[in-house]
A and B are shown apart, each in its own frame.
Chain A
Amino acid sequence: YNHFPGTIKWKKDKITYRILNYTPDISSTDVDTAIWRALKIWSDITPLKFTRIFEGEADIMISFGAREHGDNYPFDGANGLLAHAFPPAAGIGGDTHFDEDETWTMGSNGYNLFLVAAHEFGHALGLAHSRDPGALMFPTYTFASVNEFRLSQDDVSGIQALYGASNEIKPNPRPQPPKTPEKCDPYLSFDAVAGLRGEMLFFKDRFFWRRHPQMPEAQLTLINSFWPKIPAKIDAAYENFERDFLVVIQGNKYWAVNGYDVMPGYPKNIRRFGIPSSVRKIDAAVHIRTTSKTLFFAGDQYWSFDETKRAMDEGYPHLITDDWPGIPARVDAAFEQHGYIYFFRGPAQFLYNIREQRVLQIDRINQWVGC
């Protein structure tokens, strides 16, 4: 997280706000609710108290405006800049402006007013932008389900460094805020791994590391920042080379992703591959180009699907340990490259030679994401 130079903050805990005008995109009641909720996420975890006033000068004056709207920081029409807010201070300090040229929404069909307002009020309280891609205070917009929204640990640490924690005794303690995965975490494990047009994708919680073969660094991004229409967290993924798309699996559904777009007609049910309905979750999936088979791993078993015949091979499932000597009984993720299958289990990866049918090497997984 970051603060503004001079660690500017309000020198009081009771802060007033006033909504000066409304957007025609959503009802004024909804705007009131979105603003109230967006302030509440900050007051829930600090001693701050927000009071709405309806006339006079409030600490946080909230308004919708387009293009040049009176503060010499013009907006830019639809998309691009969505809103801005001023750090804590008298006068314009704390004021928060939303670009009226955007389509504001309470859902996902436009820019969600609650999510943008929550971010901007972070600025109005003294937070600058964070480099943590999982933080609310990250500069770019990514839709997230409002009902499941939680501040990240980075956001909580940043605001509490300014104002301290809430002094109220909460009856039921709040769950731990979500943390952004660390590439050097010795206990790191992957949810899914897949190639995509020459790059490698390593999925973990709401994120994935994207790594280009020639680049030592891997870029950490929110899954929904890239693909808003697939689940925030996935169980398995594989690249279907024949049909040039990425398949991502979550629960008993799967999506086909082509570049940035989810292909029409998805999600579909994994039953279509011939996987029995007793299987509630796929742990790993890997496509083997030389045989055109896609293997699905669930628990201590796996299935083999023939992409050419578009049918499950006979006699499956098999036990993993029966067919893959040296591989753990269960796996988290897998992908195939140049005749090897990389299996991932916890912090370890197993390099398996398909032709020789044996494990050649066991390594730590952090190296894939630049550590």
Chain B
Amino acid sequence: SSAVPLSEIEKNEEDWQLAQTYLNRFYKLKDSSAGFASKNRNYVSKSSLSNKIKKMQEFFGLEITGNLDSATMGIMEKPRCGVPDVAE
């Protein structure tokens, strides 16, 4: 097996960062369940992230995979309005 090139790891890391910021801003990412305790204020469980990705994919009529596929990243990178899609 060959090591994943550093640039790809960084790219993935970048995508996840962008996704977390995006989902936090527009899909209420932070898990508000009372028992949710985490050392790192920004820690978000993978399943919570995947659920929010599904919510976003459903909103935009994308294939609902819960993964950061290219179509999903493509939407996240588009210029847009700052109002949340899932309104509080």
Contact = CB atoms under 8 A, between A and B. Distances in A.
Contacts of B81: 81-84, 116, 119-120, 123, 129, 139, 141
Interface in B68-88: 71, 75, 78-85, 87-88
B77 to A, nearest CB: 9
A321 interface: no
Interface in A281-301: none
A84 B83 CA distance: 6
A219 B80 contact: no
Contact of A133 (B26, B61, B80, B84): B61
Interface in B12-70: 26, 59-63
By CB atoms of chain A within 10 A, which of B26, B61, B63 has the most? B61
A2 B79 CA distance: 21
A212 B72 CA distance: 14
A219 B63 contact: yes
A52 B31 CA distance: 42
Range for the number of chain B residues in contact with chain A: 10 to 19
A263 B11 CA distance: 27
Range for the number of chain A residues in contact with chain B: 20 to 34
Nearest to B22: A80
Interface of A: 2, 4-5, 73, 75, 79-85, 111, 116, 119-120, 123, 128-129, 131, 133, 139-141, 212, 215, 217, 219-220, 225
A129 B85 contact: yes
Nearest to B85: A129
A15 B84 CA distance: 24
A82 B83 contact: no
B86 to A, nearest CB: 9
Given A131-B61, A215-B63, A219-B71, A141 B82 contact: no
Contact of B60 (A80, A131, A212): A131
Contacts of A120: 81
B82 A75 contact: yes
Contacts of A84: 81-83
Contact of A131 (B59, B63, B75, B88): B59
8 contacts: A2-B87, A84-B82, A116-B81, A139-B26, A140-B79, A141-B81, A219-B61, A220-B61
B65 to A, nearest CB: 9
A123 B83 CA distance: 8
Given A82-B80, A141-B80, 14 more contacts: A82-B79, A84-B81, A84-B82, A85-B83, A111-B79, A116-B81, A119-B81, A123-B83, A131-B61, A139-B80, A139-B81, A140-B79, A141-B78, A217-B61
A202 B15 CA distance: 29
Contacts of B78: 140-141, 225
A351 to B, nearest CB: 26
Contacts of B60: 131, 219
A80 B71 CA distance: 17
Nearest to A133: B61
B31 to A, nearest CB: 20
A206 to B, nearest CB: 15
A128 B79 contact: no
Nearest to A73: B82
A102 B79 CA distance: 10
